[in-house]
A and B are shown apart, each in its own frame.
Chain A
């Protein structure tokens, strides 16, 4: 079955460093991937979308890559700040063109 996997362990980094989160997909080839941010007890907020024919997408301090050979997307936050601490969700379209979500990775940025 189609699966989206993210590292379930929390990622702890120091303020100012670059955070890199990984999203792997198996058993299919999505046409696009989306990344969302979710704060505790709140709904996810859309950050970026990248299509299969795009290698990289940037928005301010955020960068997303899409490697169809490795079946992987990387999400980078440069010059990270404590305010970036949240859970980040990866989602990909599935065969029915709905979104399949990964379990999310919690990022903690320490001052």
Chain B
């Protein structure tokens, strides 16, 4: 069964704590992405990685960090510096062609609540 898994589905944390969201894919895709989705808003890009050991900041990277040590894994850490961390977090992957137009495959998401 190929796909992207994210865990956990729901996560609760106290303010001031760092938390790491897991994302694993077995699609053999090169590129992976992290998005944040707030109610009524579009997906906003946090970080992306097009190859192992390399990643780039997206539009809203402040307060987040990532690593890409393996092709299959792209964990996201929400640090205490992120001012409004409560949101729905989505991980995606794609096998980008030269035109970069390939569809993105999304995981089921992690809903993070920070109180």
Contact = CB atoms under 8 A, between A and B. Distances in A.
B101 A89 contact: no
Give the interface size bracket for B toward A: 20 to 34
Q: Which of B33, B45, B101 has the most CB of A within 10 A?
A: B101
Give the interface size bracket for A toward B: 20 to 34
A85 interface: no
Contacts of B100: 93, 97
A44 B90 contact: yes
Interface in A77-111: 89, 91, 93, 97-104
Contacts of B105: 46
B109 A41 contact: yes
Interface majority SS on A: helix, strand, loop or mixed?
Answer: strand
B58 interface: yes
A66 to B, nearest CB: 13
Interface of B: 4, 33, 35, 40-45, 48, 58, 88, 90, 92, 99-101, 103-109, 111
